[in-house]
Chains A and B, each alone.
Chain A
Amino acid sequence: MRRRVVQSLSRAWWAGLGAVGLPRERWDALPVTRRRAVKAGLWVAIFLVLVALFGVWKISALAVGAVIFVLLAPAWDRLTIRGWRIGKWFAPAAVIAIVAAYPYYVNSMPEVPLFGPFPQLSTLVVMTIFTMMALGLNFVVGYAGLLDLGYVAFYAMGAYMAGWFASSQFSKQHLNIGAIGLYPGATGFHFSIWLVLPMAGIATAVVGVLIGLPTLRLRGDYLAIVTLGFGEILPQIARNGDNLFGTGFNLTNGTGGITPIDGPGFGNWLGHHLHLPANFLTAGDLDSVFLWTGIVLVLITVFCSARLRDSRLGRAWIAIREDEVAAAAMGVPLMRTKTWAYATGAFFGGVAGAYYASYKSGAFPDDFFFQISVFILAMVILGGMGNIWGVIFGACFLTYLDREGLSNIGTQINNSFGTNLDVPKYEFGIFGIIIVVVMLFRPEGLIPSSRRAAELHEGVHDEPLYDAEIA
């Protein structure tokens, strides 16, 4: 039915153009390059018109249009220089360049219709952090097909690792390894954030393995509930951790949270010689340096994602996702494979959590609640389960909506229609609708991997290998 609608629309479109004197034959006769240029030009024109009519016009809109044209018109992905197919790197390189240069042009961007002004730098930093988390969850849900509803536990673990090793929480100890920007007289563990990030990742991965060992043999829906349970238990331990089991040991400082947490930095020597920021938290362009570091972290995550996907482990994940029995029969070690998926997801969740805690300069138990797990799950689902680009898009878009987008949209709607809606209040309802609509109509997500699309539409043999059937 969708094909028929598209066909009839296409016929109407060409009939209309033919009447004006631009029939289909003339279009088909054009060389490919010119057709691409015309299509790109059309998109640019639509964009400029929309901004002029419904947004806030600035001269930079023309520059944005020019950039869009340059990106879309030529067939960059076919670029070959002296036999090196560098074209396939074009898209990622362009995206990285555009995002890395964001601090320089964000203030001069026009305002687009509906979404209003371009997101702030701080929102972009949070986008990179949630992209890392979504990519981490992608290992579990996207690659291995295990539903994890307690991802927030890993986020919490990472944040508290940063809290333990980069703040004055354990003030009776005094250990300082490369920390930057301490207040005079600071005690406690103060490790350099560059050390804390991998530590947090590894510790969270260990916790992930410990959680996974008894639970990963459960079937899908039970696993979801159990992970949800852990996602609730860990924050509650954080909340009650100021007097752990009545012993008086202050592990997490209870509901007050651990604050302040040190920031990253390269120190004075590197700062002076290589012009790297000495202390992120006192840097004049604080959000920019956090953004660039965040981009580097996301790149590392994407690299690991891509390599693992194409490795033996990745193929084992796909196998158990599609048919556990067949996979086990072919010699794939089920428990070990699932545990690896869980541990990898936990690792990146922990690193992201630690980085976020350092950015916010605090770790509070109220930051970790169930809806965040579903929020990250929605990113993976909306973007495309198992597809790296899809997950990145889903993460960026939903984070933007959460932080700024919904309030901007609300303001725009209220201004245009004179209503008094408080759109951010309905945030999780909107995410719920997104999840339900995507699952009903396009479960493979916006940017799918074709394999996953096939699985979801044709169905898989998803009777788990270990299954206690209840009468």
Chain B
Amino acid sequence: MATNVSAHAPLRAKRSASSYVLPTAAALLLGLLLLWLGVNFVKGPAYFFTISFIGLTNGAVYALVALGYTLVYGILELINFAHGDLFMLGGMISATMLITVFGLKAHSSTGALVVALLGSLAVAMVACGLINASIEFVAYRPLRGAPRLAPLITAVGMSFILQNVAIAWKGPSYIAIPNVLPTGNVFSIAGVVYTWEKLIVIIVTLPVLFALLWLVLRTRQGKAMRATAQDRDAAAMMGINVNRTISFTFLIAGGLAGAAGLLYALYFGQVRYDTGFSLGLIAFTAAVLGGIGNLPGAVLGAVSIGFIQAYNDGLTWHAPGSDWTQSIVFAILILILVFRPEGLLGERTPEGA
């Protein structure tokens, strides 16, 4: 039975009014945000740029940690709660290497500095990578077939264990790292200040990012990682050793955390057993914001969160202030997860089991 369709008016599904609500609200929010930033920029452009550089540098450190989260989630669909604390251990290992092994003090010679940095970087990355891989072997692999709640709860327990390892090793107070990075400005144009420390953070972060991208996109191991992340059973059927690939992923993620720990120790100057918890949550928010499982997304999300944090703390016109930073970051996390769980760069695939 043919339905009586008028020939001249093609059928078009009418879009319901309620589907406009969400995009409108998002656009409004974004507009207000841009307006706020604009007013602050006009009030003090040089100051605005200084704060932006702070945000960029913070974002770079967050990016390294966020990448670790995203790698592990992509391959196992597990939020590794212990990742932030692994980063904290990386910071502590770096601090020990810098202070005790290399004996760095403030204002050492450049040669000694470079040697110490490279040495500590290598040790921290290898150590954290191995710790992460062993955690996966001991705690997550046996629970591969269990309901998804089980490895998540185990990860929380693991996080506590790592924090206590730090307390047992270094005690509950802050470890201060001497100011070994060269101070002074790279440039200072019209009141915009950019210090050497910030540049060094970027100098260390960028190669690590590129190395990671090369690893994931161009090597066989990277292809194995991407295949396992896409479909574990099919990858196994294609001859990929899933267990080894997952261990390798954890190794890489641990290495990233170690590098981030070194940078944190150098740039922020102090580490404590609970540093990893708060920073881990910020980094996880960044990973989710960018699209969890998506590597460039993690970097984008981290830099965005870095900017948001710096603007919140530093801007003068109607900035909520550092009291509210944590709430704002969490609010972003909740909003993203509820309204756009695939994040900024992720793709929404059809729903259903």
Q: Which residues of A contact B (CB under 8 A)?
A: 145, 147, 149, 214-215, 218-222, 224-226, 228-230, 232-233, 236-237, 239-240, 325, 370-371, 374, 377-378, 381, 425-426, 428-436, 439-440, 443, 455-456, 459-460, 462-471
Q: B199 an interface residue at 8 Å Cβ cutoff?
A: no
- List the B residue with the shortest CB-CB distance to A467: B351
Q: Chain A residues with Cβ under 8 A from B222's Cβ? A: none
In the bound complex, do residue A470 and residue B292 qualify as a contact, i.e. CB atoms below 8 Å apart? yes
Other-chain residue from B145, B161, B330, B342 in contact with A468 (beta carbon distance below 8 A): B342
> Known contacts A425-B167, A429-B168, A436-B158: does B331 contact A325 (CB below 8 Å)?
no
Q: Chain A residues with Cβ under 8 A from B334's Cβ? A: 214-215, 226, 229-230
- List the A residue with the shortest CB-CB distance to B331: A233
Q: B211 an interface residue at 8 Å Cβ cutoff?
A: no
Q: Chain B, 283-312, contact with A by CB distance < 8 Å: what is the 0/1 string?
A: 010001001111000000000000000000
- List the A residue with the shortest CB-CB distance to B352: A467
Other-chain residue from A218, A431, A462 in contact with B160 (beta carbon distance below 8 A): A431
- List the A residue with the shortest CB-CB distance to B164: A429
In the bound complex, do residue B78 and residue A459 qualify as a contact, i.e. CB atoms below 8 Å apart? no
Q: B324 an interface residue at 8 Å Cβ cutoff?
A: yes
Q: Chain B, 320-353, contact with A by CB distance < 8 Å: what is the 0/1 string?
A: 0001101100110110011001110011111111
A220 vs chain B, min Cβ distance (A): 5
In the bound complex, do residue B284 and residue A370 qualify as a contact, i.e. CB atoms below 8 Å apart? no
Q: B38 an interface residue at 8 Å Cβ cutoff?
A: no
> Known contacts A226-B338, A233-B331: does B156 contact A429 (CB below 8 Å)?
no
Q: Chain A residues with Cβ under 8 A from B216's Cβ? A: none
User: 4 tightest A-B contacts by CB?
Assistant: A429-B164, A432-B160, A435-B157, A229-B330
Q: B277 an interface residue at 8 Å Cβ cutoff?
A: yes
In the bound complex, do residue A236 and residue B324 qualify as a contact, i.e. CB atoms below 8 Å apart? yes
In angstroms, Cα B327 to Cα A431, docked, is 27
In angstroms, Cα B352 to Cα A433, docked, is 36
Q: Chain A residues with Cβ under 8 A from B277's Cβ? A: 370
Other-chain residue from A232, A374, A465 in contact with B330 (beta carbon distance below 8 A): A232
Other-chain residue from A377, A429, A436 in contact with B165 (beta carbon distance below 8 A): A429
In the bound complex, do residue A377 and residue B146 qualify as a contact, i.e. CB atoms below 8 Å apart? no
In the bound complex, do residue A471 and residue B293 qualify as a contact, i.e. CB atoms below 8 Å apart? yes
Please, could you name 24 A-B residue pairs with CB atoms under 8 Å apart, sorted by A? A145-B147, A149-B156, A221-B79, A225-B79, A226-B334, A228-B281, A230-B330, A374-B157, A378-B157, A381-B153, A431-B160, A432-B158, A435-B154, A435-B156, A436-B161, A443-B146, A443-B150, A468-B341, A468-B342, A469-B350, A470-B294, A470-B343, A470-B349, A471-B349
Q: Which of B73-106 contact A (CB under 8 A)?
A: 77-79
Q: B228 an interface residue at 8 Å Cβ cutoff?
A: no
B88 vs chain A, min Cβ distance (A): 14
Q: B172 an interface residue at 8 Å Cβ cutoff?
A: yes
Q: B192 an interface residue at 8 Å Cβ cutoff?
A: no
Q: Which of B119-158 contact A (CB under 8 A)?
A: 139, 142-143, 145-154, 156-158
In angstroms, Cα B160 to Cα A436, docked, is 10
Other-chain residue from B78, B148, B156, B293 in contact with A470 (beta carbon distance below 8 A): B293
In the bound complex, do residue A440 and residue B324 qualify as a contact, i.e. CB atoms below 8 Å apart? no
Other-chain residue from A147, A229, A432 in contact with B157 (beta carbon distance below 8 A): A432
Size class of the B contact interface (CB-based, 8 Å): 35 or more
| B interface: dominant SS | helix
**Given A221-B79, A436-B158, 11 more pairs with CB closer than 8 A:** A214-B338, A221-B148, A229-B331, A232-B281, A374-B156, A381-B153, A425-B172, A439-B153, A463-B353, A468-B349, A470-B294
> Known contacts A218-B341, A221-B79, A468-B341: does B160 contact A440 (CB below 8 Å)?
no
* Most interface-central of B149, B326, B343, B347 (chain A CB within 10 A): B149
In the bound complex, do residue A220 and residue B149 qualify as a contact, i.e. CB atoms below 8 Å apart? yes
Q: B159 an interface residue at 8 Å Cβ cutoff?
A: yes
Q: Chain B residues with Cβ under 8 A from A230's Cβ? A: 330, 334
In angstroms, Cα B288 to Cα A465, docked, is 21
In the bound complex, do residue B353 and residue A374 qualify as a contact, i.e. CB atoms below 8 Å apart? no
In angstroms, Cα B324 to Cα A459, docked, is 41
In angstroms, Cα B219 to Cα A190, docked, is 69
In angstroms, Cα B77 to Cα A432, docked, is 22
Q: Chain A residues with Cβ under 8 A from B346's Cβ? A: 470-471
A323 vs chain B, min Cβ distance (A): 10
- List the B residue with the shortest CB-CB distance to A223: B337
Q: Chain A residues with Cβ under 8 A from B293's Cβ? A: 470-471
Q: B163 an interface residue at 8 Å Cβ cutoff?
A: yes
Q: Chain B residues with Cβ under 8 A from A434's Cβ? A: 157
Other-chain residue from A228, A232, A435 in contact with B153 (beta carbon distance below 8 A): A435
In the bound complex, do residue B351 and residue A229 qualify as a contact, i.e. CB atoms below 8 Å apart? no
- List the B residue with the shortest CB-CB distance to A325: B353
Other-chain residue from A147, A237, A370 in contact with B152 (beta carbon distance below 8 A): A147
Q: Chain A residues with Cβ under 8 A from B291's Cβ? A: 470
Q: Chain A residues with Cβ under 8 A from B349's Cβ? A: 468-471
In the bound complex, do residue B337 and residue A432 qualify as a contact, i.e. CB atoms below 8 Å apart? no
In angstroms, Cα B277 to Cα A230, docked, is 15
In the bound complex, do residue B145 and residue A232 qualify as a contact, i.e. CB atoms below 8 Å apart? no
> Known contacts A377-B156, A428-B164, A436-B157: does B326 contact A232 (CB below 8 Å)?
yes
In the bound complex, do residue A147 and residue B347 qualify as a contact, i.e. CB atoms below 8 Å apart? no
Q: Chain A residues with Cβ under 8 A from B149's Cβ? A: 145, 147, 220, 462
In the bound complex, do residue B142 and residue A440 qualify as a contact, i.e. CB atoms below 8 Å apart? yes
Other-chain residue from B78, B163, B326, B342 in contact with A428 (beta carbon distance below 8 A): B163
In angstroms, Cα B142 to Cα A147, docked, is 20
> Known contacts A220-B152, A221-B152: does B147 contact A462 (CB below 8 Å)?
yes
In angstroms, Cα B333 to Cα A456, docked, is 30
In the bound complex, do residue B337 and residue A435 qualify as a contact, i.e. CB atoms below 8 Å apart? no
- List the B residue with the shortest CB-CB distance to A370: B277
Q: Chain B residues with Cβ under 8 A from A370's Cβ? A: 277
